[in-house]
Amino acid sequence: MDKVLRGHHLLCVHGFRGMGYSPAFIEKMASIVKDIRDEKKDFFITTVEAFDDACMACPHKGAAECEAGEGANEHVLGMDAKVLRHLGLQHGQQYLKSDILKLTAEKVVPDDLDTLCANCSWLSYGVCKEGIANLRKKDIDEPKKKPALQTSKK
């Protein structure tokens, strides 16, 4: 159940609507997203600036780096770093899913994606901003007691 997710995928999971790079990738992403959106489930997520669970099923995963196109690896690593910094999370650290969702709802507004996800080909579809807006709405409509951020080293 625990997962490894790269920084920018912490935002992608809120915009995912079944689109993706291949059937295997879509299936993997759908299963990650299902667990993320299931309010009854909580688990640890190791946040990284590197390949993650979704990359493992991606046709663009090369031996050592993302090969989605020219400059893709630098681009995705840059987004990972920006998102982790924005959320105050660190590479290689584990956090509870529930804490990451709260942080995302509190710290990310839809228009932040213009900077955090600049030049991402999915941004223009609008579903990512929509996903963040829905997450924030849910957090405001259904406020929950906020526990202290829990971390655990692997």
> CA–CA separation, 92 vs 45, rounded Å?
10
Q: How far is the CB of 144 from ligand SF4 (least distance, A)?
A: 31
> CA–CA separation, 149 vs 57, rounded Å?
30
| Listed ranges 35-43, 57-65, 126-134, 144-152: which one lies at the site for ligand SF4 (CB under 6 A) | 57-65
> Going by C-beta distance under 8 Å and a sequence separation of 6 or more, which residues neighbour residue 81?
7, 49
Contact yes or no for 11/113 (Cβ under 8 A): yes
Question: Which residue of 33, 58, 113, 128 would you call a contact of ligand SF4, by CB under 6 A?
Answer: 58
Site string for ligand SF4, 11-50 (x = CB under 6 A): ----------------------------------------
Q: Which residues from 65-84 bind ligand SF4, rule CB under 6 A?
A: 66, 68, 76
Amino acid type, 63: A
DSSP-assigned beta bridge partners for residue 44: 96
Binding site for ligand SF4 (CB under 6 A): 54-55, 58, 60-61, 66, 68, 76
